[in-house]
Amino acid sequence: MDITGRFIKILPEVRGESQRGPWVRGGFVIETDSDYPRQVAFTLFGEDRIAMINGIALNSPVVVTFSPESREFNERWYTDLRCIRVVPMVAGVPTAAPAAAQAPAPAAAVPAAEQTPFAAKPAEGDDDLPF
């Protein structure tokens, strides 16, 4: 999922140690661009994810790609918005397209003369269907 807004705050880092080793969690807040602006907090796990926001200036427009996740603890539900990517915008255009907006590269280019439309019907006797 993607959301656009202004980068307004960097949240403090939290570090810890688990059985799998050390971990670090950080986060940031954006304010959406709409008639009724909302402030939305995102979570970043790992040094590499936290490094994504180091060069972003406060109050600059960004596009955030995230994954919502909820979990239950003591019969209460907690929702977390895990940031996957933050892309600064320049003049209303992302400086690099988010992964969801990038078109997949074609496997092999087929000349236009060899392309057939999806609605094309086979010639009489060309179909090999058993019915």
List, for residues 14-43, the tens digit of each pLDDT value. Answer: 999 999 999 999 999 999 988 999 999 999
Structural domain that includes position 9: 2-95
- Containing 47, the helix (H) or strand (E) segment is helix 47-51
Indicate whether 56 belongs to any domain: yes
In DSSP terms, which residues pair with 62 in a beta bridge?
5, 88
In this model, does residue 59 exceed pLDDT 90? Answer: yes
Within a domain: residue 115?
A: no
Alpha carbon distance 57, 9 (integer Å): 10
Does residue 38 belong to any structural domain of this protein? Answer: yes
Share of the chain above pLDDT 90, in %: 61
pLDDT digits (tens, 9 = 90+) for 88-130: 987 666 666 444 444 444 445 555 555 555 555 555 656 665 6
Is 62 domain-assigned?
yes
In a domain, 37, yes or no: yes
Residue bearing the bigger pLDDT, 3 or 104: 3
